[in-house]
Structure 1
Amino acid sequence: MSFTFTHNNEEMVLDKKHTALVLADIQNEFLTDKGSYYHLIEDKLKELNVVENIERLIKTAKENDFYVIHSPHYYYPSDLQWIAPRNPITDYLVGLPNGFVFRKDPLDLEGFINSGADYPEQFKKYLMDGKTSNTSPHKGLSCLSNDLIKQLRQRRVEKVIMAGPVGNLCLENHMRDLIEAGFEVAMVRDAIAAGKNEEGDAYTAAMVNFRYIANALWTTDEAVDKLKAVVA
């Protein structure tokens, strides 16, 4: 027996005081062709115009006075001391010759500019404007290892619109964490990418799970229109 899940998008009503745009992994490693993860998701990034759609979301949120919170992904040399078993994707990425979203130290920016851990140039004007909250790094797939939920709670945010390049891993885990913590979450389906492996298409897998779990599943056009329509 199968079930058809449809979202009544009107059930998630946005308001400026309690709504935030939440992004994960807006970094060179994922979004520029020099990044180590970029080539795993390149096809979907291009097919859906993900980079452009993420920028549209940020620009609209900024212009309409919504909170924007970004959860970046960083590793430091001390993280190479980990000896507990890692999942396959983390084991692969951490073992790359030049590291993965790698930084020398939390307090040292040597080699950071234009590295995989840095933000793409087109996003710096948004993420470094002094208003966007860039959280502490998530060390795995989940936001339970950083302060994203605290940043949302301190702003009394209850509703979240989410986008980011790695839909089936970091973004999905962030979504699950937020929903378990009691937030309403809308995923923006064409501002999200994912790769493929021998088991199949990870983007499709993410969309199937979003349809089951998220409160809403919107396109960028729909999300932009909803953000613009909010009066207060």
Structure 2
Amino acid sequence: MAFTFTHRNSEMQLDKSHTALVITDIQNEFLIETGSYYHLIADKLKELNVFDNIERLLKCAKENSFFVIHSPHYYYPTDRQWVAQGGAIADYLFNLPDGFVGRKDPVDLEGFVGSGADYPERLKKYLMDGKTANTSPHKGLSCLSNDLIKQLRMRRVEKVIMAGPVGNLCLENHMRDLIEAGFEVAMVRDAIAAGRNTEGDGYVAAMVNFRFMANAVWTTEDTVKRLRDAAQN
């Protein structure tokens, strides 16, 4: 007889001085209709109002002076020198005719503004306010290839609230890395999207795994309330 593991995630208590909002892939490639990845997640983006909910989280975090850290994707022309296989989704994205979250060079912004690698105009006021830490790029699904964990450690952050458009890939891998590194993690379920393939729904797969691993799974509404309450204590 099969055993079904049903449980309620333990409640994570927020502590303002040790809490950060961590978001991944807040870029045109994922959130704007012209982006190369957008069509893969468009249904879930629209169904859950993911773009609006990400903005609500950013706005609330900024208004209440929480740390905000963004982990973006970038690839440069020299990355095309890679010869190792990167896995199914990596190989698909890396071989798109028009490229994927591409930049000319780490120190050259020519062609960056308005590109797939750029931030959506509506969110730039949060991501480019001089206070948000935009990390070095993650080159795969995980944050082990960038400085996210160091950015959190140097701020003495212990509790992380997470959201982003690619829930079953980059966001889930970032979550796994942070849990393994000893952070408490809450996932915001309606500020997350994912795609589908012939095997099933990536969003459902992500939510199943979040329930098994994360310290909490909240809605945007609940998260905003918790952030505000923590800011007043």
- Structure 2 residue matching 1:69: 3-state secondary structure: strand
1:7 paired with 2:9, answer yes
Letter in 2 for 1:51: F
What is residue 140 of structure 1 aligned with on the other side?
140
Per-residue deviation, 1:121: 0.3
Whole-angstrom distance in 2 between the partners of 1:55 and 1:193: 14
Q: After TM superposition, which residue ranges in structure 1, 4 or more long, deviate above 6 angstroms?
A: none
Whole-angstrom distance in 2 between the partners of 1:72 and 1:66: 19
Whole-angstrom distance in 2 between the partners of 1:69 and 1:145: 15
Written as runs of structure 1 = structure 2, the 5 A alignment for 1:31-70 is 31-70=31-70
Whole-angstrom distance in 1 between the partners of 2:27 and 2:9: 31
Per-residue deviation, 1:7: 1.7
Per-residue deviation, 1:16: 1.2
Per-residue deviation, 1:97: 1.2
Whole-angstrom distance in 2 between the partners of 1:113 and 1:34: 14
Per-residue deviation, 1:8: 3.5
**RMSD (Å) for aligned C-alpha atoms:** 0.6
- Structure 1 residue matching 2:227: 3-state secondary structure: helix
Whole-angstrom distance in 2 between the partners of 1:226 and 1:85: 42
Per-residue deviation, 1:99: 0.6
1:207 paired with 2:200, answer no
What is residue 81 of structure 1 aligned with on the other side?
81
1:81-129 superposed Cα distances (whole Å, 9 cap, x missing partner): 1101120111011111111000000011111000000000000000000
Letter in 2 for 1:2: T
Letter in 2 for 1:6: R
1:8-28 superposed Cα distances (whole Å, 9 cap, x missing partner): 32xx11111100000000000
What is residue 99 of structure 1 aligned with on the other side?
99
TM-score of the aligned structures, taking structure 1 as reference length: 0.98
Whole-angstrom distance in 2 between the partners of 1:195 and 1:171: 13
What is residue 194 of structure 1 aligned with on the other side?
194
- Structure 1 residue matching 2:206: 3-state secondary structure: helix
Whole-angstrom distance in 2 between the partners of 1:5 and 1:114: 44
Identify unmatched segments of 5+ residues in structure 2.
none
Whole-angstrom distance in 2 between the partners of 1:181 and 1:63: 28
Identify unmatched segments of 5+ residues in structure 1.
none
Whole-angstrom distance in 1 between the partners of 2:184 and 2:28: 29
Whole-angstrom distance in 2 between the partners of 1:191 and 1:85: 31
Per-residue deviation, 1:58: 0.4
Letter in 2 for 1:200: G
Identity of aligned residues (%): 75
Letter in 2 for 1:77: P
Give the length in aligned residue pairs.
230
